[in-house]
Chains A and B, each alone.
Chain A
Amino acid sequence: QQQVKQSPQSLIVQKGGISIINCAYENTAFDYFPWYQQFPGKGPALLIAIRPDVSEKKEGRFTISFNKSAKQFSLHIMDSQPGDSATYFCAASFFFSGSARQLTFGSGTQLTVLP
């Protein structure tokens, strides 16, 4: 009930291409879905997040698509750049009383963008 399944495990994309990472969750009570970006030796940094009342959220080159009925959400990185090479984690949580609660993370996707 608490799992978040993420795919692919690794992804190689050419510069300028589109990177797509997918996640699926089981617990229908989850209502907050963030994506984190982690560079080697650094802590995860919040990239973009979505609540289930919208189907898509875009911030710059990063877009989250959310399918509530399928219990799936995905991250699209448009015009991928070598600087985007990092590990990406999806996560899910409960959003209660104005705050996110403890996150359940996906297994991570190591993205490599070739120059």
Chain B
Amino acid sequence: SAVISQKPSRDICQRGTSLTIQCQVDSQVTMMFWYRQQPGQSLTLIATANQGSEATYESGFVIDKFPISRPNLTFSTLTVSNMSPEDSSIYLCSVVYRDHTGELFFGEGSRLTVL
């Protein structure tokens, strides 16, 4: 089965600081996405992580706030910058595997609490 590892699994941060979340997958993927799930809410796409180029952001999300890197086919990072309590959410990495039927799989998420 697919293995998508996210680090950290949870963290408590102070207002104004930044946190980088890592996503490592066990085999090559065609696409990687970052989603946000606010407490008790649905999932909202933040951006598509593009290998070797700038991420593609959805409406309402900007690179200065959520810089994303994807240096290779199996790894990506999402940084939540200058955090405020409103950023308290679960951040989820999602991938499409090259050898699957094109379906999306999710990591277990990184639960972020901002004080």
The chain A residues found within 8 Å of chain B, CB to CB, are 32, 34, 36, 41-46, 49, 89, 93, 95, 98-108
Contact (Cβ within 8 A) A100 B96: yes
- Main SS class of interface, A: strand
Interface size on B, residues (CB 8 A): 23
Contacts A34-B103, A43-B107, A44-B106 hold; do A102 and B43 have CB atoms under 8 A apart? no
- Interface CB pairs A-B, < 8 A, 9: A41-B111, A45-B106, A89-B42, A93-B104, A95-B102, A99-B96, A100-B104, A103-B43, A108-B41
A-B contact count (CB 8 A): 53
Most buried by A among B30, B102, B105, B111: B102
Instruction: Let me know if B105 and A102 touch, CB within 8 A.
Output: no
Smallest Cβ-Cβ distance to B47: which chain A residue? A102
Contact among B43, B48, B58, B103 with A100 in the assembled complex (CB-CB below 8 Å): B103
Whose C-beta in chain B lies nearest to the C-beta of A44?
B106
A42 nearest in chain B by CB position: B108
In the complex, per-residue mask of B85-115: 1 if CB is within 8 Å of any chain A CB, else 0: 0000000101010000011111111010000
| A106 and B108 form a contact (CB under 8 A) | no
Cβ–Cβ < 8 Å partners of A99 in chain B? 30-31, 96, 102
